[in-house]
């Protein structure tokens, strides 16, 4: 049986010819891939720009995720950062580093995943670069259109605002914990949530339209990211009991937490990579679906984030790439 | 003596605090790094987007290049792709993957190099992402402003046009060849040209203003990239004798070529990574400095590129990352 073709069997043009058919052109693409650079429409006169890198054996393992899943995840987490500015995603570019032993089929699946992650939003994959290297690395830069609105920053929360959250909490952390414990078969939906997050991408624009005062993507855990929002805004966030604020998630995660002997609050408060949206709204504002109230904004105190008025007792560190 | 601090000694916030002071804000930066995404001004209503990745031991070696040089190179080669559309560079973002053993000082030098590469052009470094990984990888995405002009594509060359080139030819290949032969001390300027290319960045806008019909960055060698332009335009390029067309470069490279027993035509025609600009102009157009005429455009023939009317005899392959 012949060996599976790898990227070392193709030259760059041949590999690009395998990749391009998977990439959506996108509504904003004026000059598609193939020239020195692409040209993207930015009718607003501004463009939102964000960059996120996925590295093999740091962010994903090929034994756990297909190329298609890694592509979907790379698209989702970058488009989530666009949404977190209150913008509509328009396009992305991809820097892809691959060991020569990478199967061509894996790269095609990655491209298909990137395409499938962009297509529902009208976003195009407009360019990229390929290189060999010692590990798979997917560096995505994504763009978004503010459609005439002001960007919603982390720094706009004011005392008296409501803290709200949209999207899943703790699912990705629970899925990863199951995989690490060799219990991946115990709950496919949680493991899939780790492989491919499902950020509420349209909720970012909806939050901006509804008057959100601050907005951010929750990638490193609720406590850690809430702390960033609090410091940027010069306020303190007082979060509700997570088992009440995120009662659906808490119930959904309970069996896996029991199986692994984990306090579900740990996943709810410190679990990363779900890419939900954390927002603040003026008191009394109608929260756009699927935002739910999860706390309130206080005048700046000694602590960035409180839970039910007290310093949180469980893990506050979130994910850090460099610290052991 | 304490060990040199590495990125593993800092958390992400601490490392960002070391990096940010080196990064220029840029004329087009509306929301600088620090939020979920940056916002860049795109007054033209379009933005040029390009992406290029540098990988340790594929594109550079830490034994040969400082962090500052790698940063300068990463900026230069990305801004060259912006220039190659006839656009003015405005901003870039950087995905940076680092082994935990990477010295903090190396990362600071890289940031300083990126900043120094952008600052003279008014371009900002507006965001990025940091991750650990098995090797240093620098994934840059750069943006440019077309200032109301049409982008100059590879596909616009027409029979009868003049072929022109701006920038150095063969210096980078000669510098790399000296390093590989252990003769790096023989010609510092050539080795420096490999470490840090000096693309003629403002020549891209000048070419567009002067009516260039096609334009591209020469990154993989003149013959290979001229072949791409020829295929995109449906024409054949007939290049002049490179020792005449690039007489200054030929003379400058002669001692190194003699030392290594290389035909200088090989470097002139097939050497990559100089990031000069290849353009076509209507016959009779005044070529903006520093463009020089290097050939003419013929109706499409069986061969993409000719040299003095004949199939070129020396290396035509240029650089391919995957083929052995």
Tens of pLDDT along A138-161?
999 999 999 999 999 999 999 999
| Lowest-confidence segment of A82-91, B19-28, B315-324 by average pLDDT | B315-324
- How much of chain A exceeds pLDDT 70, in percent? 96
- Please choose, from the candidates A166, A207, A199, the residue with its C-alpha nearest in 3D space to the C-alpha of residue A293: A166
In whole angstroms, give the CA distance from residue A61 to residue A100: 17
Give me Rg for the CA atoms of chain A.
Answer: 20
Strand partners, A49: A143, B38
DSSP one-letter string for A207-260: HHHTT-SEEEEE-S-HHHHHHHHHHHHTEEEEEPPHHHHTHHHHHHHHHHHHHH
pLDDT at position B323 = 44
B316 has a pLDDT exceeding 50: no
Q: How confident is the model at residue A284 (pLDDT cuts 50, 70, 90)?
A: very high
pLDDT at position A322 = 46
pLDDT at position A313 = 75
Q: Is the Cβ pair B151, A41 closer than 8 Å?
A: no
Nearest to A135 among B59, B100, B134 (CB): B134
pLDDT at position A1 = 55
Please report the ipTM that was assigned to this predicted complex.
0.93
B125 has a pLDDT exceeding 70: yes
Q: How confident is the model at residue B2 (pLDDT cuts 50, 70, 90)?
A: low
Please enumerate, as own/partner, the contacts of A175-182 that have beta carbons within 8 Å and a separation of 24 or more.
A176/A273, A177/A256, A177/A260, A177/A262, A177/A267, A178/A256, A178/A259, A178/A260, A179/A64, A181/A260
Q: Which residues of B touch A52 (CB under 8 A)?
A: 95, 129
- Please choose, from the candidates B115, B106, B103, the residue with its C-alpha nearest in 3D space to the C-alpha of residue B33: B115
pLDDT at position B321 = 44
Among A37, A93, A156, the strongest candidate for a mutation testing the B interface, having the largest count of B CBs within 10 A, is: A37
Mean pLDDT for chain A overall = 95
Q: Which residues of B touch A278 (CB under 8 A)?
A: none
For range A205-218, the mean pLDDT: 98
Looking at domain A154-307, which CATH architecture does it have? Alpha-Beta Complex (3.90)
Question: Is cis: bond before B69, omega within 30 of 0?
Answer: no
A2 has a pLDDT exceeding 80: no
Confirm or reject contact between A5 and chain B (CB < 8 A).
no
For range A189-202, the mean pLDDT: 97
For range B40-62, the mean pLDDT: 97
pLDDT at position A128 = 93
CB A75 within 8 A of CB A114: yes
Q: Which residues of B touch A54 (CB under 8 A)?
A: 131
Confirm or reject contact between A50 and chain B (CB < 8 A).
yes
- How much of chain B exceeds pLDDT 70, in percent? 96
Among A6, A30, A141, the strongest candidate for a mutation testing the B interface, having the largest count of B CBs within 10 A, is: A141
* pLDDT tens per residue across span B75-109: 999 999 999 999 999 999 999 999 999 999 999 99
Q: How confident is the model at residue B313 (pLDDT cuts 50, 70, 90)?
A: confident
Which residues of A carry a binding-site annotation for Mg(2+)? 36, 50, 52, 81, 129, 217, 220
Work out the minimum CA distance from B186 to partner chain A, whole angstroms: 30
* pLDDT tens per residue across span B156-196: 999 999 999 999 999 999 999 999 999 999 999 999 999 99
Confirm or reject contact between B148 and chain A (CB < 8 A).
no
Confirm or reject contact between B130 and chain A (CB < 8 A).
yes
pLDDT at position A315 = 53
Q: Which residues of A touch B131 (CB under 8 A)?
A: 53-55, 58-59, 321
Work out the minimum CA distance from B195 to partner chain A, whole angstroms: 18
- Domain A7-145: give its CATH code: 3.30.1330.10
Domain with CATH 3.30.1330.10 in chain A: 7-145
pLDDT at position B315 = 53
Domain with CATH 3.90.650.10 in chain A: 154-307
Work out the minimum CA distance from B187 to partner chain A, whole angstroms: 29
In whole angstroms, give the CA distance from residue A194 to residue B242: 56
SS3 A314: coil
A35 has a pLDDT exceeding 60: yes
For range A306-322, the mean pLDDT: 69
A317 has a pLDDT exceeding 50: no
A15 has a pLDDT exceeding 90: yes
* pLDDT tens per residue across span B212-231: 999 999 999 999 999 999 99
């Amino acid at each position: 049986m012949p060996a599976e073709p790898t990227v070392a069997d193709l030259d760059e043009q041949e590999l690009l010819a395998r990749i391009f058919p998977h990439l959506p052109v996108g509504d904003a693409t004026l000059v598609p891939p193939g020239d020195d650079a692409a040209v993207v429409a930015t009718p607003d006169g501004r463009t939102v720009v964000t960059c996120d890198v996925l590295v093999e054996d740091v962010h994903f393992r090929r034994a756990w995720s297909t190329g298609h899943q890694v592509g979907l995840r790379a698209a989702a987490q970058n488009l989530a950062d666009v949404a977190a500015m209150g913008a509509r995603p328009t396009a992305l570019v991809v820097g892809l580093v691959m060991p020569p032993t990478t199967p061509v089929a894996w790269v095609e699946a990655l491209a298909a995943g990137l395409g499938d992650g962009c297509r529902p939003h009208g976003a195009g994959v407009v360019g990229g670069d390929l290189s060999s290297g010692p590990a798979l690395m997917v560096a995505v830069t994504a763009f978004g259109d503010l459609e005439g609105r002001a960007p919603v920053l982390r720094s706009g929360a004011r005392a008296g605002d409501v803290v709200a959250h949209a999207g899943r909490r703790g699912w990705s952390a629970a899925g990863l914990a199951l995989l690490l414990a060799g219990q991946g078969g115990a709950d496919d939906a949680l493991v899939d949530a780790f492989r491919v997050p499902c950020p509420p991408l349209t909720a970012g624009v909806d939050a901006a339209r509804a008057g959100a005062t601050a907005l951010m993507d929750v990638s490193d855990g609720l406590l850690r990211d809430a702390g960033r929002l609090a410091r940027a805004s010069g306020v303190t966030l007082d979060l509700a009991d997570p088992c009440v604020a995120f009662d659906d998630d808490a119930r959904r995660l309970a069996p896996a937490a029991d199986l692994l002997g984990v306090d579900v609050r740990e996943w709810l408060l410190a679990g990363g990579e779900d890419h939900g949206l954390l927002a603040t709204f003026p008191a009394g504002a109608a929260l756009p679906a699927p935002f739910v109230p999860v706390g309130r904004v206080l005048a700046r105190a000694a602590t960035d984030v409180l839970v039910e008025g007290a310093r949180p007792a469980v893990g506050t560190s979130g994910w850090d790439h460099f610290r052991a």
